[in-house]
């Protein structure tokens, strides 16, 4: 019973932290998509896509951190590992796919894949810049 409660608690906090962490990427992606599409996009769907992207990203990065043995600070060696680089590429692909498939414009057309890639690239660049600043 204790293990079940531990797993449920872990899942609860994983979803809670992911939903909090998806707010800023959703705002950035929404602004980039409004600019790239030259049309309004639906923010609720942008937030949903960023939330799912954040959930997947947290799983991937935590998996790599545990696999490489750098799950505790300092995170410099984790940021320099090739495994993390490949996971970040996979994470960006997942993010672009989620944004492209889940976000409609207000005229009921889907956003362009290039716009989704641009939004993911800008969000990832900002996040990686913040992560490298905090790690050093």
Kindly report, residue by residue over 66-113, the tens digit of the pLDDT. 999 988 888 788 888 999 999 999 999 999 999 999 999 888 889 999
Question: What does the pLDDT read at residue 119?
Answer: 97
Structure token pair of residue 104: 């409609």
| Domain residue limits, the chain | 2-135
For position 131, what pLDDT does the model report?
Answer: 77
Give residues with Cβ within 8 angstroms of 34, minimum separation 6: 40, 41
Phi, psi of 69 (to 5 degrees): 85, 20
- Does residue 104 sit in helix, strand or coil? strand
Name residue, tokens 């060696």.
77
Rounded Cα–Cα distance for residues 106 and 110 (Å): 9
Span 102-127, average pLDDT: 93
Identify the pLDDT of residue 73. Answer: 84
Give the global pTM: 0.88
CB proximity list for 6: less than 8 A, separation 6 or greater: none
**Burial (Cβ within 10 Å: 0-12, 13-18, ≥19) of residue 24:** middle
Average pLDDT of span 45-59:
95
């Amino acid at each position: 019973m204790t293990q079940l409660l531990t797993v449920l608690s872990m899942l609860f906090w994983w979803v809670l932290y992911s939903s909090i962490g998806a707010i800023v990427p959703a705002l950035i992606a929404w602004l980039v998509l409004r600019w790239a599409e030259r049309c309004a996009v639906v923010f609720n769907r942008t937030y949903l896509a960023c939330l799912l992207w954040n959930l997947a990203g947290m799983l991937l990065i935590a998996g790599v951190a545990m696999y490489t043995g750098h799950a505790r600070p300092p995170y410099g060696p984790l940021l320099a590992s090739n495994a993390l680089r490949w996971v970040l590429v996979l994470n960006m692909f997942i993010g672009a796919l989620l944004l492209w498939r889940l976000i409609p414009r207000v005229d009921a057309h889907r956003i362009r894949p290039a716009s989704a890639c641009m939004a993911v690239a800008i969000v990832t660049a900002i996040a990686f810049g913040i992560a490298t600043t905090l790690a050093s």
